[in-house]
Every structure is written in structure tokens, then in C-alpha cells.
Amino acid sequence: MLVYPYDFRLTEKEKTSICYLSFPDSYSGGLGDTQFSFRLRQSGGQRTTHFGDDGEYNREAPLTLQRETAHYFGYVYFRQVKDSSMKRGYFQKSLVLVSRLPYVNLFQSLLQLIAPEYFDKLEPCLEAVCNEIDQWPGPAPGQTLNLPVMGVVIQVRIPSRVDKPGSSPVKQFNQENLLPAPLVLPTVHELDLFRCFQPLLIHIQMLWELMLLGEPVVVMAPSPTVSSEIVLALTSCLAPLKYCCDYRPYFTIHDSEFREYTTRTQAPPNIVVGVTNPFFIKTLQHWPHILRVGELKMSGDLPKQVKVKKLAKLKTLDTKPGIYTSYKTFLHKDKTLIKRLLKGIQRKRPSEVQSALLRRHLLELTQSFIIPLEHYIASLMPLQRAITPWKNPPQIRPFRQEDFMKTLEHAGPQLTCVLKGDWLGLYRRFFKSPNFDGWYRQRHKEMTQKLEALHLEAICEANIVAWMKDKSEVEIVDLVLKLREKLVRARCHHLPVKEETLQRVGLYIETIIGSLPEDLQTVLHHP
């Protein structure tokens, strides 16, 4: 196993897992090149990254594109060709790009350039490529990057948290007279949803609900390419809501978590797992939702749609494609979407247009579901007039599920979504899922930071000299220490406060210290 850069440290366990995940797990008679991806749990504690300030990137990137802290993504380019000089009669090799970033489109495009060259020229080629990649700028949300590699310039825009959800990527043609003309990627991460979901289009509603509720789902596919594409497509269904459960685009029987997922002594975990080895049909048949799919072939007609079947019909080896589940959807199917996609097929509409339709539908569905929650949680924030400079800011009120449910009658999803069904039941189930927990923690953290920022602004607008008039030295020293602590917190946690506000607080501290006796001034200036 060859690793570049040399100083990148992987544990032995990680190396072994990457080796197993880099090759198809089941017999694949197909010759040629295939690409797929996997996601791997990091072992052996936290490690520093090569990127300096992870925090800055994660603050500015959409939640769905944040850099992972406990997992690696692996992007694989696998080649299998007949070669009589080899012991098995085949040349089999994989080139794997490991990253903490979920940029599937960028990294798979990069591998398409590098891998064929590497298989021909081996190590020197890889060293040259790594030297070029070393010079690339770090990913900056909102910026278009020009990334030179092997005589080609890849141009791609890194999405930002302030982008409007569902808007098409900003046109990137600030080409700066680049020669040769750059390879422009429309997106760093989005898949061709229409292609990934084509045998499942009439069940898109059910799949969205299963993802929203964080249900355990197995995707059984004929190849790692199909399994990883469908798993990544499923987990992207909820954007801009972050999918907070675990997911494995491709999983093998050699994985260290194999026992954990196949045990029958406890309920399956909240995870979407993609597999190809038929052995999993037997070991995972106790899971509540199993998607069995064939090869994804784009044809001129609507591909054959799989049927929903009872779990009991899951045969050990000759399992036919289908969704094996007893799940009943809370919402009714959207027949309009299916008709529009069908019309697109008849009119030979390009796949990317069909994907955009599908993505827009899923975005509107997620937004209809999440907007009432956003409105309710915003109402829990204390009023601005309740924030006074010399008292700790008031607490955010607790989230009460029943109070939220009462708001739905007048401000529920029915205002923005035509779909009928049991929305209340869907919310009740959602409250029990890791996705609700992840959403609520993130919002609560943002609101707490906003409160701290408003408190700092209130302090800035206060008359500090008037406050000090009747205060003892102990109280004044206490205020200095508290303001210093607030200043440190504001900078360390990057609170949403203007720089001038922070500077004014700094000046306040100096003013207060200047009013104290000299011996105290000396102590406070040299903490």
C-alpha cells in the first residue's frame, strides 16, 4: 500500500479497512474501470488536519458540506483488465483519494484525470500530481477555485452557507483568460439524482420520509458504484437539513463494524448502509427497510419501477429488486412530480434537468416541513428589550413539543405544500430521530451565540461611567474580569459581533481600569 503524502498518518486498522473498501466485495465479471466511494470511521483518536483552521471553513460552509471530524471519505478508481502475466490472470488496482470533505463530484472528476495515467506510469506520476495538489488553495466557501493538475485546470465553486437553497450555482466564468480552457464542474458534490433514483422514482416520498426519520436502511446493489451512488443520493435528500445519522455508501463483510450491524440482540442502528455481497441478504434480513436494486441503466423510457414488498418475501439469494418494508408513509404520493418526470422522459429532457426537478421537489418538501419548526424555535428567543447590560442575558425558553404542535393549525406545512397526509404523526416520529436532535442542537447553539452577541452590544451602548459611580472596587474589578472573559469568548467562538463592538468593549475595559487605584491597575494590566 503506497500512501501520499508520506507524512499522512493512518492507523493500521484504517489502512486495512481502506484496502478492503477499495475493491469490489462480490464477484464482478465486469472488466474495465469503475468508480465508487466509501465512508470510514476514524480510529485512534483525534488528529490534526493539514488545513489549519477547520473552524473557519465549517462556519462558512453549508452544514451538509462541513468537514468531518470523526470519519474519512474514500473516493475510489478501480481498474480490472485481463493480464496473462498476473497470477490470477487479471490486473486489478485501485487508486483511492482520502478526504474529510464530501466533495464527491470534484474528487471523482480528479481521479478520472489521475488514475489512468497512474496505472500506466505508476509512482513518479503520483508524486508529480501530489506536488501540484499541494499548491492548491484551501476550500473557501463562496469562492471559485482554479485547480491546476496534469496540464488541466479544474474550475469549481465551493458552496457557502449564505447561498440561497435551490439556487443554481453562480455562473463561474471569470476565466481570467485561462489557457487551456478550464474543465468547469457545475458542482463539487451534487450527484445525478434522476439517474440514481430512476428505479425508485414512484417511491421518492417514502424514501424522503425514511431519511427524515433516520430509519435503518440497507441498499443491496450489484456493484459498489450503484450502492455508493444511491446511499449518497438518499442522504442528500434532506438538504438543506443536515442528515445527522451514520451512513456507509459501501460496506463489506471485512468491516470492523460488521458485527455491530449484523447482531440480532439489539435493534439495527440509525444508518444507511450500501452493500453488494449477497451474504448480506441473510445477515441483514432483520433490518426494517431493505432496498434491492439492479444496475442503473439510462434508457429512453421510464425504467422499470421496483415494487414495495413484504420483508417475509426476502429470499436468500434470488431476491428480486424491490423495497422490502412494512413502512406506511405519513404523506400521500405526489403524482404531479411523477407526471412531470414522465413527460421529461418522453420529451428526451436531459438527465441534469430531470435531476434539477427532483432536487427542487425534495427541497420544497424539506422546507415545508422545517419552516414551522424554524418559526417556533425563533419564538423561544428572549425579546431584545429584556437584554440589559449589567445582568446575565435571559435564557432561551425550552422547546415544548405540544406547544409546537398547536402552532401547526395556523402555520403548518399545508401553507407551502400541497401534499396531504398525517403531518402531525410525521412530526411526532421526527422528534424521536437523531435528525431532530442534530437540528435542535445546532439552532440552540446559534441562538445562544446570538444572545451573547446582543448582550455585548447592550454593554457597548451603556453609560459605563454612570454605572461605576456608586460601585465598590470589588464590583468594578469583577466587571473587568467578566468583560475580559466575554471578549475572549467572542473571539474564540467567533460570535456574530462586529469588530468595532469588540474594540469598544476593549476600550471600556481600559477606561474602567484607568479609574482604579494604581496598585490595582498594575495587577489588572499584568494578569
Q: Tens digits of per-residue pLDDT, 175-200?
A: 455 656 789 999 999 999 999 998 99
Q: Is residue 8 predicted with pLDDT exceeding 90?
A: no
> Helices 401-411 and 351-378, interaxial angle, to 10°?
120
Mean pLDDT of the region 225-231 = 96
Position of cell 454605572? 467
Q: What is the DSSP string of 253-304?
A: TTSTTHHHHH-SSSPPPSEEEEE--THHHHHTTTSSEEEE-------SSPPP
89 by DSSP, 3-state: which? coil
Q: Which one, of 121, 20, 23, 149, lies nearest residue 79 by Cα?
A: 23
What is the per-residue pLDDT across 50-80, written as a single tens digit (0 to 9) for each? 555 567 899 999 999 999 999 999 999 999 8
Asked if residues 177 and 155 have their Cβ atoms less than 8 Å apart, the reply is no
What is the per-residue pLDDT across 451-495, written as a single tens digit (0 to 9) for each? 999 999 998 888 888 888 888 888 888 888 988 998 998 888 888
pLDDT computed for residue 250 by the predictor:
97
pLDDT computed for residue 26 by the predictor:
65
Query: How many other C-beta atoms can be found within 10 angstroms of the C-beta atom of residue 306?
Result: 20
Task: Tell me the percentage of the chain whose pLDDT exceeds 90.
Answer: 52
E strand or H helix at 351, and its extent?
helix 351-378
> Whole-angstrom Cα distance, residue 472 to residue 476?
6
pLDDT computed for residue 247 by the predictor:
97
> Helices 104-121 and 123-134, interaxial angle, to 10°?
150
Q: What is the DSSP string of 388-408?
A: -TTSPPPPPPP--HHHHHHHH
pTM: 0.91
Q: Is residue 173 predicted with pLDDT exceeding 60?
A: no
Mean pLDDT of the region 154-181 = 72
Enumerate long-range contacts of 380-384, CB under 8 Å, 24 or more apart. Answer: 380/447, 381/447, 381/450, 381/451, 382/451, 384/454
pLDDT computed for residue 168 by the predictor:
60
Q: Is residue 7 predicted with pLDDT exceeding 90?
A: no
Q: So where are the chain's domains?
A: 12-162+177-190, 197-218+236-434
Q: Is residue 47 predicted with pLDDT exceeding 70?
A: no
What is the per-residue pLDDT across 336-382, written as a single tens digit (0 to 9) for each? 998 999 899 889 899 999 999 999 999 999 999 999 999 999 999 99
DSSP state for residue 331 in the 8-state scheme: B
Peptide bond into 102 cis (omega under 30): no
**Any residues with CB less than 8 A from the CB of 388 and at least 6 apart, and which?**
458
Please work out, in degrees rounded to the nearest 5, the angle formed at the alpha carbon of residue 385 by the alpha carbons of 458 and 390. Answer: 45
pLDDT computed for residue 46 by the predictor:
60
Asked if residues 63 and 442 have their Cβ atoms less than 8 Å apart, the reply is yes
Residue 88 pLDDT class (50, 70, 90 cuts): confident
> Whole-angstrom Cα distance, residue 329 to residue 180?
52
Mean pLDDT of the region 28-55 = 74
pLDDT computed for residue 172 by the predictor:
46
Q: How far is CA 371 from the centre of its chain?
A: 20
Asked if residues 285 and 72 have their Cβ atoms less than 8 Å apart, the reply is no
Q: Where are the alpha helices (DSSP H) in 149-214?
A: 193-197, 204-212
Top-confidence residue, 508 or 52? 508
Asked if residues 128 and 135 have their Cβ atoms less than 8 Å apart, the reply is no
- Burial environment of residue 167 by CB neighbours within 10 A (0 to 12, 13 to 18, 19 or more): exposed
Position of cell 493500521? 12
Phi, psi of 380 (to 5 degrees): -85, -10
Asked if residues 93 and 79 have their Cβ atoms less than 8 Å apart, the reply is yes
The CA dihedral of 100, 101, 104, 106, to the nearest 10 degrees, is -120
Mean pLDDT of the region 409-430 = 91
| Averaged pLDDT of the chain | 88
pLDDT computed for residue 177 by the predictor:
58
pLDDT computed for residue 169 by the predictor:
56
Measure CA of the first residue to CA of the last residue in the chain; give whole Å: 53
